[in-house]
Amino acid sequence: MCEFGPGPAAALPGGIGVSLLKVYDLPTPDGSAGGSPHVHLACSEGYYVVAGSGSVQTLNPKGFAETPLQAGAVVWFDPGTIHRLVNGGGLQILALMSNSGLPEAGDAVLTLPPEHLTDRETYLKATTLTGEGDARTSSAMARRNLALDGFTVLRESYETNGPSALDDFYAAAIRIVQPQLPDWRRRWEQGARRLAEQTGAALDALEAGTAPHLQTAELHELPAPTEFGLHGMCGRLDTYDISSREAEQ
């Protein structure tokens, strides 16, 4: 049973991660504007559309889809769903990620052409951004366009081969992230799993007619993002780093 009392500082509800995403508005070779197609291997992702319009293109074993996005819309998808944001104008999204810390720790693999997915070193060489601040934009767009090339091939292959068209990409993605798995497990155990166990302990206590967790209740606050305008896969990110708050406790 998870015990109540002093311990790691509070995470966001459910152990989620949150960031404000301003989707790239620079054009792609296919004539649209938007982000880099990629997949998460362990985390679900959700969007709350804050402003603007556009769409999210998805590809998974059930096929390709394009879902419209407008202010107030909420969409989410499971790990294994390749996704690409398309900016129709001023698209801003509050991005919610399960297992806070895993996406930041590398739970995302871009849909690069196969020759860039042969091993982790080759993948990192193709995806590492160069420059600082706005000077990173050109390398971020080059990375995005490379991922779009691979995404286009996957879509075309799916039309011919069905779900099996994704098998090689999934296998390559697994190989690329495997060295990170011990760190991912640690983050999960200290975050989402810990919070789920605390909920179980609270239910046990309530069934027994007690509620010690109510005596330690408090408000938690992140008054502003920790970092602004980072070059993410889909756009410029304002991020909230829960770990930086924990260090202050």
pLDDT tens-digit profile, the chain (249 residues): 333 333 455 688 989 999 999 999 999 999 999 999 999 999 999 999 999 999 999 999 999 999 999 999 999 999 999 999 999 999 999 999 999 878 878 899 999 999 999 999 999 999 999 999 999 999 999 999 999 999 999 999 999 999 999 999 999 999 999 999 999 999 999 999 999 999 999 999 999 999 999 999 999 888 899 999 999 999 999 998 776 544 344
Cβ atoms 2, 195 nearer than 8 A: no
Q: Please report the pLDDT score of residue 6 as a whole number.
A: 34
Nearest to 227 by CA among 133, 163, 162, 146: 133
Instruction: Enumerate the β-bridge partners of residue 230.
Output: 237
Nearest to 232 by CA among 34, 50, 99: 34
Strand ranges in 100-240 using DSSP code E only, listed in sequence order? 109-110, 227-231, 235-239
Cα–Cα distance for residue pair 129/231, rounded to 1 Å: 9
Secondary structure (3-state) at 235: strand
Q: Please report the pLDDT score of residue 9 as a whole number.
A: 55
Q: Which fold has domain 14-190+230-235?
A: Jelly Rolls (2.60.120)
Q: Please report the pLDDT score of residue 188 as a whole number.
A: 94
Q: Please report the pLDDT score of residue 248 as a whole number.
A: 42
Quickly tell me which residue has 């798995």 as its tokens. Answer: 181
The domain locations on the chain are: 14-190+230-235
Rounded to two decimals, what is the model's pTM? 0.91
Q: Please report the pLDDT score of residue 199 as a whole number.
A: 95
Q: Please report the pLDDT score of residue 10 as a whole number.
A: 66
Cβ atoms 132, 230 nearer than 8 A: no
Q: Please report the pLDDT score of residue 18 as a whole number.
A: 92
Q: Please report the pLDDT score of residue 105 as a whole number.
A: 85
Cα–Cα distance for residue pair 126/117, rounded to 1 Å: 9
Cβ atoms 91, 69 nearer than 8 A: yes
Q: Please report the pLDDT score of residue 104 as a whole number.
A: 78
Q: Please report the pLDDT score of residue 242 as a whole number.
A: 74
